[in-house]
């Protein structure tokens, strides 16, 4: 049963290669405005997206299967493998439809036959958002149990009445913050005084100091060129900095999780959106690392495709950071009005903020691309088109 998610990822890779092959054949043979469809930039970008999704799904499925064969039970890795494969499958289906047009909906088209499977990948073997939240809980359970148990236990005890029964919902306090002090100063002061008596409180303080010093000592190392770091010597030159970027951001995820816990505190037991978005960020970063090391064992066209995928993945990671910040702001806003952080208005506000941030970053990236010399743009596009067509064929 645990191989089901790896199987779906492998199937997703095959489907996406099929989409790319059909789109490449159509683009090479179909005459459009100004010549063959393949000459145009948007179809080439769409084919690159399909091939990139296939490469990502294959790399993650290979890693998950290899870890299982080695006796390493990484349930979280299988979760994000399936989620990433299902996401890229839908994106590749959309990209293929953009190239083929209405022909992709013909009854005899194999793209049309595959469409139900692409939609079902995201909900079978665990719905994507739910398994991402499960993955986050799996990899953070040790941290929460060891370092946050004291704080959560003190807040939980603060919500118990003198008779040992829980207080009414409107009198409960889920976070120790200035608003809670204004609502129930006596209980908050008592809880604050109890915190230093908890052993996990001092463990958390030691963790923050130790890891903070470690990160400060690592700062000068960021100035060392990636090519001089032995850890990345086995990777091709164009992939080294991408792997280093993803690994650095994965280390910083620890601080993001600490910040989420300190902000939501006991409320995190029922807040789903922060867990889901953090899981998506981890999924993107792990995919970057796995892609770099997987492509290093492939031919140069696969390495070029991986290097081309890095820009949208980094943009997505930045968009996720903005999304998490907007969720925090929205949560504070709704709590001020006495509503739950899972209220529809909160989710809409977070989505709007994230969409605006992603739109601004996308526009900036487009302007930076357009600022390149025309010869550079045309050469890059030609190289991408040639590699995409060769791999698809």
The burial class, CB within 10 Å (0-12 / 13-18 / 19+), for 237 is exposed
Q: 199: part of which helix (H) or strand (E)?
A: helix 199-218
Q: Which of 302, 289, 282, 266 is nearest to 391 (CA)?
A: 302
Query: In the prediction, which pLDDT does 318 show?
Result: 52
Give 162-214 pLDDT, tens digit per residue.
777 888 888 888 888 888 888 888 888 888 888 888 888 999 999 999 999 99
Give 62-73 pLDDT, tens digit per residue.
999 888 888 887
Q: Pick 352 or 97 by higher pLDDT.
A: 97
Q: Which of 26, 59, 10 is nearest to 393 (CA)?
A: 26
Q: 295: part of which helix (H) or strand (E)?
A: helix 273-295
pLDDT at 333 > cutoff 50 = no
pTM of structure = 0.74
pLDDT classification of 369: cutoffs 50, 70, 90: very low
DSSP type of residue 147: I
DSSP type of residue 31: E
Neighbours of 202 (CB within 10 A): 14
How many Cα atoms are found within 13 Å in the side-chain-facing hemisphere of 224?
13
d(CA 370, CA 376): 10
Residue whose token pair is 């006991």: 266
Query: In the prediction, which pLDDT does 327 show?
Result: 46
pLDDT at 355 > cutoff 50 = no
Residue whose token pair is 């009198």: 171
Beta strand ranges found along 74-172 (DSSP E): none
């Amino acid at each position: 049963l645990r191989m089901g998610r790896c199987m779906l990822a492998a199937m997703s890779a095959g489907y996406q290669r099929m989409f790319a092959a059909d789109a490449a054949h159509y683009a090479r043979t179909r005459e459009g405005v100004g010549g063959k469809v393949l000459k145009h930039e948007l179809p080439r970008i769409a084919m690159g997206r399909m091939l990139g999704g296939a490469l990502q799904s294959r790399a993650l499925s290979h890693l998950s299967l290899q870890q299982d064969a080695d006796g390493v039970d990484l349930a979280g890795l299988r979760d994000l493998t399936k989620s990433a494969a299902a996401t890229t499958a839908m994106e590749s289906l959309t990209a293929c439809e953009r190239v083929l047009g209405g022909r992709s909906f013909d009854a005899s088209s194999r793209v049309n036959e595959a469409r139900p499977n692409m939609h079902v990948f995201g909900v079978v073997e665990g719905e994507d958002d739910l398994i991402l939240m499960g993955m986050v809980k799996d990899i953070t359970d040790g941290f929460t149990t060891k370092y946050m148990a004291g704080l959560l236990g003190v807040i939980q005890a603060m919500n118990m009445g003198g008779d040992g029964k829980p207080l009414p919902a409107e009198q409960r306090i889920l976070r120790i913050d200035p608003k809670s002090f204004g609502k129930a100063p006596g209980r908050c002061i008592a809880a604050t005084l109890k915190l230093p008596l908890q052993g996990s409180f001092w463990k958390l303080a030691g963790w923050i100091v130790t890891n903070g010093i470690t990160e400060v000592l690592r700062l000068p190392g960021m100035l060392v060129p990636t090519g001089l770091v032995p850890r990345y010597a086995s990777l091709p030159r164009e992939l080294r900095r991408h792997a280093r970027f993803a690994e650095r951001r994965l280390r910083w995820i620890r601080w993001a999780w600490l910040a989420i816990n300190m902000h939501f505190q006991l409320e995190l037991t029922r807040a789903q959106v922060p867990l889901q978005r953090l899981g998506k960020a981890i999924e993107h970063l792990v995919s970057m690392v796995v892609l770099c090391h997987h492509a290093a064992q492939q031919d140069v066209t696969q390495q070029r495709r991986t290097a081309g995928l890095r820009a949208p993945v980094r943009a997505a990671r930045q968009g996720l950071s903005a999304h998490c910040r907007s969720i925090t702001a929205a949560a504070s806003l709704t709590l001020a009005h006495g509503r739950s952080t899972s209220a529809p208005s909160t989710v809409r506000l977070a989505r709007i903020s994230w969409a605006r941030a992603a739109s601004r970053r996308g526009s900036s990236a487009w302007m930076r691309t357009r600022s390149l010399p025309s010869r550079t743009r045309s050469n890059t596009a030609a190289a991408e088109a040639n590699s995409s067509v060769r791999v698809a064929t």
